[in-house]
Structures are given as C-alpha cells and as structure tokens.
Structure 1
Amino acid sequence: MRMIFGLVLLAGLALAGFAIHTAQNRFSQYKSALASSQQAVVPVKDVYVVRRQLRYGDPLRPSDVRSISWPANSIPAGAFGSMDEIFPQGETGIRTVLRVMERDEPLLQAKVTKPGQEAGIAATLTPGMRAFTLQVDVNSGVSGFLRPGDRVDVYWTGGGGDGGVTRLIEPNMPLIAIDQQTDEQRNNPTIARNVTVEAPPAVVAKLAQAQATGRLSLALVGVQDETESESVEATLREVMGAEETAARRDVCTVRTRKGSDVVLIPVPCPADG
C-alpha cells in the first residue's frame, strides 16, 4: 500500500515538474516575442488634426482640433505639434481657415491664417511673390470656368507687322482670386471681370506693360498637366496665309455715316508716293 502511494506521489511530482517546465518555456517565448514587438514599434509624435470638416473662412477654435499619434519620420510639413503652437499664449485673434479640410486631416500652417489675420489674398501669397490683377471677359477668361487654384497660360495680342501678333508671354501662372473670390472649392462657373495671379515683380512688370499695350487672353492648363508651354507666336500671315494677308493690305476702308450708324466701305488703297 505504501509502495503504491509512493509511486503515485512520484508520478504527481513528475507531472508537476513537467507543467512548471512547460510554463517556463512558454513564458520565455512570450517575453521574447514581446521584446521583438517593442523593437519593431515605430516612434511617434503628436500631430493635431481637425475634428470636423472646415471650409474656407471658418474660424479655427480649440474645440475643432485634437491630437493623434503620427509616425515621427513622416510628419507633414507645417504640422502643429502642440496647442500652444496653434493658439499662442497672449494672442487674442483667431486663426481663419484658408482651404477645405476634412475630418481627421492634419492641420497645416498653409491651411490657416496667422492669429488675428483675415483670410485674404495677402495671407496666401508666397514670400517674394506679388498679386497682380488681369482684366478678362467671357472670351479671354475661358468662358467663366476659371477658379482660384487653377493655372493658366497668358497670351498677348498686339500690333506688329503683317496685321499684328499673338505671343505666349507667361506660362503656368497660378490664379489666386477670381474677382473678389479666393475660395478654391468654388465650383459654379462665373463670368469674371478680373483674375488675380501670383508672380514675381519682374513678371508683374511684363504683365502690366502687356495689358497696357494690347489684349490679354488666358488658356487653362489641365490639373494633371506638368508640362510647360514653349515659346509660341502667331502672326496674321500664319493664320490666314500669305496671299490673303497681302490681299487684305490692298483693301482700304472709308468711314461714312448713315443716320446714326457708321459704315465701313472697302475701297482700293491709294498708290504709294
């Protein structure tokens, strides 16, 4: 009887030892896996995002933002890392939204004004650049389909040999305002009277001279188009052909009045000399 009891006791001790050994192995494996996973964790930093959709002109308030963990090696340029950066102590003015931001989108310096600054053109200008306004109509302004954020090629048409010339004077110019509207999310077509472009002072001088001496026309550049138009020029001779251009030079007109109307009558041009 005692022998049976002893054998049972030994078997129990053996089983207990085996269980402890197995548990120790499993615990060691768990610790190794945990250490490996900790080594693989990407370092993060706090980045502030918006809690809801914010549109152009909306005021930015503390309740509109929250912090989230963001991979430290891929933080967007211009992101805010603290509430004090967004709402500096001692600043009483609010920031204003310049571009549409969707929920959970990072808040960037380029998308809001400085504290107390209004959401006008001056707040969006790139350092060193100037805002310059061009006069357009339904024809020269791409039938009203322009909006802030688009890019255009600017053509000048003026006097010259063979009846005038049209020349590309500045390609890929960014539009920052249409009339008084600077909201890039505006989608409804509007017949604009003025468009405002962003350009360095040297280009502003060229545009001012071109606008004063001829007529400007705009050509819309595609959103995905990264090419830059080369030097382009067209004369009346190229458009109509040399023979027809010569024929037009041989015909003059005489103005005559019929009642309240002025009529142009074609007549042969007088011989030179």
Structure 2
Amino acid sequence: MGARSILVAMLGVAVAGGSAFGAREYLDRSRAVAATDPEAALVSVIVAGRDIPFGQAIQPQMLQVMSWPRTALPPGAITELDTLVPAPGMPPRRATREMAQGELILASKVSAFGEKVTIVQSLGENSRAMAIKVDAETAVGGFVTPGDSVDIVLTQGGGETLRAITILQNIRVIGVDQDANRNNDQPGVAKTVTVEVTPEQSQTLALAQKAGTLSLSLRSLENAADAPLDSIRLTDILREKSPVAEPTQSKPTIRVRRANTVETVEVE
C-alpha cells in the first residue's frame, strides 16, 4: 500500500511537471511565430489566457502570446516570457491586480519573484486602507463585497436630537473581514469592512467611528454625480401625516360659446 501511494504521488508530480513544460513550450513557439510576423509594426506580448484573481501565482498555463501593434504598446507591457514565469525551483510572481482573460500583462500588475502580495498592492496612489466596524444591519445585510462602492452614513445622538448625515460618498470597498477577493459575491455577515480613502477621509472616518454608528449605503453600478447632502434629524421625519403628496382637487368647468369662440371657464 505504501509503495502504491508513493507511485501515485510520483505520477502526479510527473503530470504536473509535464503540463507546465508543455505550456512553456507552447508559449515559446507562439512567441516565435508572433516575432516573425510579416508586419514589422507588430510585437509579441503576453496576455492572460484566463481570468487571474488577485494574489494568484502566475503559471505558464494561464498565459497566451499574441501580436500587438507596436505603436499601441502601453508602458510596462511584458513581452518576454522568462521575465514573468519562474525558473524551476524558483518562487512565482503573483497578480497584484485582478486580470481578465485577454488582458495585457503589465509589470505594474504582478509582484516580483517570491514577493508577498497583500491588500496594499490594490490601493491607488496616495490612498489609505481603513477598517470600519459593521454588522448585518449597518453593512446592507451582508451584501457588500470587495469592489463595491458605498456611501457612509453617520448616525449620532439620542431621542429628539438623533440625526444622520452622509459623511463620505462613492467609497470603494477593498476588503470584507479578511477577504479581498473581488470574485467572491457570496453574502455574509461581516464584522469589519475595509475601504479605500484619502488621508483626509481617513481622519473623518476615525472621528466618525467615535462619534456614533456608521452605516453603509450600497451604490448602483452607474453612479451619478454626487451632491452635498444635508443632515436629517428625527424631528424632520416625525410628521403628523405621511410625506405622500395629496392629490390636487380640480375645480369644475363649463364651456361657454361666444359667437364663433368656445372658452372653458372654471366654476368658483
């Protein structure tokens, strides 16, 4: 039984190694064909052969080689397979951004060989990551996922002084609890939500968390231009009647003919 297990393990390693070797050979041949394209204006580039999630190790079987117009080649585009795929026994490079199938592999979207990939790589320039304490009620019932955009509402006070105000708008969610995978669309009750903010917005959030309760308002994919919102107090919504507009009562009318002219007149 032990010998059989060892044999199965060795066979698995051999199959995996053969797959990686075959993928590398295929990419090398594809690159050679692209490089000899009769149109000198084309250059061979490496693209994602399938969707590559954030943090995924880059493997040869995930990649494809295709021809690309030299004049339209963006800065940082990877054209050499050896700069992306590790040599045998070496640690891999990892995706620091989510990449879709067919997308150009850019140097800014992959880590160095063996480099640790964290949520820091998903932040924009001069941005900060900050966590907000939430629960099922304040996090849209758990339907907020990484990649969503939200407004952040502060509720503070008590009794008739209770008020709410939207303190930040169109804020990107980059993590829910310990999960930063944008492909994860499964709802769940989180304890913290991590958002991407500017340094000034991080100060606003720090004060707001001490001042009251923060709630998230999930935005649609088509975000309209934002406008400042006034705070609303409890007394503003405690009305004698509901805010539904009452239908207007139209006055009765009669038609009056004067010579060849017909006129509609309201009856008082």
* TM-score clears 0.5: yes
1:206-245 counterparts in 2 under 5 A?
Answer: 206-241=204-239
Please state if 1:124 is matched with 2:93: no
Does the CA-based 8 Å contact 1:158-1:215 persist in structure 2? yes
Partner Cα separation in structure 1 for residue 50 and residue 175 of structure 2: 26
- The 1:109–1:237 alpha-carbon spacing in structure 2 relative to 1, beyond 3 Å, is farther
Q: Which residue does the alignment assign to 2:33?
A: none
In the TM superposition, what are the counterparts of 1:105-144 in structure 2 within 5 Å?
105-109=103-107, 111-144=109-142
Q: How far off is 1:101 after superposition?
A: 3.9
CA distance in 2, matches of 1:208, 1:155: 13
2:143 is the alignment partner of 1:145:
yes
Query: For 1:158 and 1:151, how far apart are their aligned partners in 2?
Result: 23
1:229/1:95 CA distance change after superposition, 3 Å: farther
* Cα 1:77–1:223 shift into 2, 3 Å: farther
The alignment-based identity, stated in percent, is 30
Structure with higher Rg: it is: 1
Taking structure 2 as the reference length, the TM-score comes to 0.65
After superposition, the C-alpha distances for 1:133-179 in whole angstroms (9 at most, x for unaligned) are: 00111111001111101110001111289412211111000000000
Do the aligned partners of residues 110 and 135 (structure 1) sit closer, same or farther apart at CA in structure 2, a change above 3 Å counting?
A: farther
What is the alpha-carbon distance in structure 2 between the residues aligned to residue 121 and residue 174 of structure 1? 13
Q: What's the CA shift for 1:97?
A: 2.7
Aligned residues between the structures: 202
Q: Which secondary structure does the structure 2 equivalent of 1:208 belong to?
A: helix
SS at match of 1:59: coil
- Unaligned 5+ segments in structure 1 are 1-40, 244-273
Contact 1:129/1:198, CA 8 A, preserved across alignment: yes
- Structure 2 partner of 1:196: 194
Q: 1:203 to 1:100 in 2, by over 3 A?
A: closer
Tell me what 1:55 maps to: 53
Describe the SS at the equivalent of 1:176: strand
Structure 2, unmatched stretches of 5+, are: 1-38, 242-268
1:242 and 1:169 map into 2 onto residues whose CA distance is: 29
* Paired residues of 1:42 and 1:71 also in contact (CA < 8 A): no
CA distance in structure 1 between the aligned counterparts of 2:162 and 2:218, rounded to whole angstroms:
23
Deviations 1:206-248 (A, max 9, x none): 10100011110110111122422432311111111399xxxxx
The match for 1:163 among 156, 161, 165 is 161
Pairwise CA distance, 1:64: 3.4
Structural mapping, 1:86-105, within 5 Å: 86=84, 93-105=91-103
Distance 1:79 1:203 in 2: 33
Larger helix share, 1 or 2: 1
Q: Secondary structure at the match of 1:203?
A: helix
Q: Do the aligned partners of residues 168 and 110 (structure 1) sit closer, same or farther apart at CA in structure 2, a change above 3 Å counting?
A: farther
Letter matched to residue 154 of structure 1: I
**Cα distance change on mapping 1:118 and 1:162 into 2, 3 Å:** same
Q: Which residue of 1 aligns with 2:178?
A: 180
In structure 2, the CA distance between the partners of 1:52 and 1:167, relative to structure 1 (3 Å rule), is: closer
C-alpha root-mean-square deviation of aligned residues, in Å?
A: 2.9
The residue number in structure 2 matching 1:266 is none
Amino acid at match of 2:210: A
128-137 or 108-117: bigger deviation:
108-117
Cα 1:234–1:45 change in 2 (3 A) is: same
